[in-house]
Structure 1
């Protein structure tokens, strides 16, 4: 057993240290350091601060801080009372709304399980439908009639050449009032090709022309202005 306060004071004085210097070095207020040397421990806020300040002050002076804390405990600390245990809060009972919701969910799950079981049983024990053999009591399928596509009209390919002299031409497609595909004078030596399903031709001096229809030479009637109808079957006078 030794005097805590006197031991601290003697160590400080041997090192020629003052309280302002000690306060700045230890970060402990000077009045608390003085209270430690005077053993006025009730000036400090609590026992925890007393032990911490005592340890820091002693170690700064080069002393054994734990030795001073043990001395303080043996002389001034009677015993720390244990804090009474806190009563544990019991969980609040579930509300009535939560109970109703839980029951609804449970009933829904049970209903789904029951429907699933019924479907499985019906599918397992149900008798498969018998397939009726082909040819017994069945009407043979009728073969649909094949519709023949209409025969497309042949295309006219007419090649005219002004072989003996000039020839004036006016060529319509389809009829006398159809679209004009050529109108003008075919001079000697010139050639023109006309195509279509039906050609309506008005011409002057047809005897000057050499005419080839679909690869076959055709002789046109001569003598003045003529109107001709040209199809794949041949050439005939127009009305």
Structure 2
């Protein structure tokens, strides 16, 4: 069956919500949930929730509409008829949106968990240093050794017959000690990511290993700062309400934004 036939069948299908339509199109193309998950970078649980029209398991209207558009493009379906199936009555109102309990106050993974190895190494060094200090304190004090007197053996100044002193030898000229090098002030880590929110939005950040460093829904005036191992995978639900800085430099989100939703990677 061609893509056009699938598009016509799905467009004309009678489904109260878009989930069943998307599932039917996926099955007609012979795609598994795992293959769709790999292509869209959505979890299998999220895809199943959409196909079952379980919108309460998804993150608000903006996320849901962007999700449907991405799924429709993968299946080569027109997204507008699917979005019209939603209807205002099928979408959770702002008061009904399931908001994370932290409301954006969820900090990145605890410091002690992300730096457990470094903290353990520092503790071992501290114990070793303490042991060396204790051992040194238990040893008998060494007798004071008197240094031999310093004898000035520099040649005396020779005065010629004319009575004028000879010019000083370059080897005996006084040398000045070099000034200590200036200490550079600390700079912000090149891998630091910061987020400032001017309105309600949601955010998810993963590091190079795919581990989630930060996720949640945030409101106006909140700020989050994380440091991890790049490249970072960012997923921002409302681009117009978020300012992103990477290593102290602002990141332009507009080239990555589609329907006010951005999904991209920062190297």
- Please report the TM-score for the alignment, with normalisation by the length of structure 1: 0.31
Larger radius of gyration between Structure 1 and Structure 2: 1
Looking at secondary structure, tell me which structure has more strand per residue: 1
- Please report the TM-score for the alignment, with normalisation by the length of structure 2: 0.28
Higher relative contact order (CA closer than 8 Å, sequence separation 6+): 2
